[in-house]
Amino acid sequence: MMPRFSLDFPYTCLMTDTSNIEIVLTPRLLVEKTKLSAERDLLLERASSFCILREKGDICARRAAGLESARLRKEARDRDRKIKLIAEAISLLGPIAPSLNRRLAMVHYHYNNWMAVEKTGLTAARIVSKLGGDGYVNTPAYNAEVIAFLQNVHALCDSLPYILNLYFRVHDFSYRKIGWNKITLNLLEDAARETGEENLSTRLKEFSKNDLFIKLQDLVNCAKHKHLIPIFFHEGRAVFAKLDGKWLPSSLEVHQFLLRIDNELIPLVWAILRIAAERAFK
């Protein structure tokens, strides 16, 4: 059975106005595998016909027939190699679709949990601020749900280069540095253009430069590899902190950022996957 994922995502307000999207990930690879199999069979058939010709004619004709038969069989083996690679890609793609579903469910799970503790967290920060404190939102549950939301969205975004590499195979599947780095991105963009998928190449490049995605990367990578980003209660809003010698309130409001991530960034991920998958039907 072909892996599918059926996703509800919002365009205007988190988890309210939703549109169902179902993407089948494997048809592109199945179509490519079928085409290569047909080409291989034709090459082998032609090679066999040249084997018959080797039994007729003069020495030069028999030699030429033998050489052509060997060339065709070599091409057939090349098709076989590609078919085996595609079969491996299909196998690797299998668990990805349900994983995407579960990952999105986790995103919304952490958002709902965050909403449940938001008022308590901000109330505590407001009291501390009024008492002359630093205004940090220190409630562990509040901060934990924000970072968990962002980490799961980041993981969704990071799955894109890996999935696209299964389609274009610009790196070995075991290559550990597949991601939003310049080398992988350039290879994927070039591969998409070479197959006439200019729209996919453009979307991929635009996504890598998307301000929301870049900010998401900054926050998650900093939290993962360096330190957590504090959240301030500032002028009646919860905002992420910025480091300028010391932690200061930034203009990045927490709730609006989470909403924009869900309403703007996640749909871009599905759009790129849809464009790549629909190649099979063109």
* Boundary-marking domain end, from 88, 104, 119: 88
In a domain, 66, yes or no: yes
Closest C-alpha to 50, from 77, 74, 79, 70: 70
pLDDT at 5 over 50: no
Q: What is the pLDDT of residue 11?
A: 31
Q: How many CB atoms lie within 10 A of CB 12?
A: 9
Q: Is residue 172 part of a domain?
A: yes
- Same-domain status, 77 and 170: no
- 0.85 exceeded by the pTM? no
Which of 101, 47, 148, 124 is closest to 273 using CA atoms? Answer: 101
Could you tell me if residue 14 is left (phi over 0), alpha (psi between -120 and 50 degrees) or otherwise beta?
A: beta
Tell whether 5 is covered by a domain. no
Q: 152-166, 233-247, 249-263: which range is least confident on average?
A: 233-247
Spatial contact of 184 and 170, defined as CB atoms under 8 Å apart: yes
Distance between CA atoms of residues 198 and 191, nearest Å = 10
pLDDT, position 117: 84
Give the model's pLDDT for residue 128.
61
Q: If pLDDT is split at 50, 70 and 90, which confidence band does 13 have?
A: very low
Rounded distance between C-alpha atoms, residue 229 and residue 145, angstroms: 13
Burial of residue 54 (CB within 10 Å: 0-12, 13-18, 19+) is middle
Distance CA 119, CA 113 (A): 11
**Which residue, chain included where needed, has tokens 């599918």?**
4
Whether residues 166 and 50 fall in one domain: no
Which helix (H) or strand (E) element contains residue 240?
strand 237-243
State which residues form the domain around 53: 36-88
pLDDT exceeds cutoff 60 at 17: no
Answer yes or no: do 79 and 152 share one domain. Answer: no
Do 103 and 64 fall into the same domain? no
Mean pLDDT, rounded, for 233-259? 90
One domain, residues 119 and 162: yes
On whether both 120 and 167 belong to a single domain, the answer is: yes
70 vs 20, which has greater pLDDT?
Answer: 70
Percentage of the residues of the chain whose pLDDT score is greater than 70: 84
- Position 172 confidence tier, pLDDT thresholds 50, 70, 90: very high
Answer whether residue 18 is part of any domain.
no
Q: Which residues pair with 282 in a beta bridge?
A: none
Q: Which of 158, 162, 266, 163 is nearest to 212 (CA)?
A: 266
> 32-43 burial by CB neighbour count: b if 16+ within 10 A, else e?
bbeebeebbeeb
Q: What is the pLDDT of residues 78-134, one digit of tens each?
A: 999 999 999 999 999 988 888 888 899 999 999 999 988 887 777 766 766 654 556
Q: Taking a C-beta distance cutoff of 8 angstroms, is the pair 160, 203 a contact?
A: no
| Rg (alpha carbons) of the chain, rounded to whole number | 26
Domain count, the chain: 2
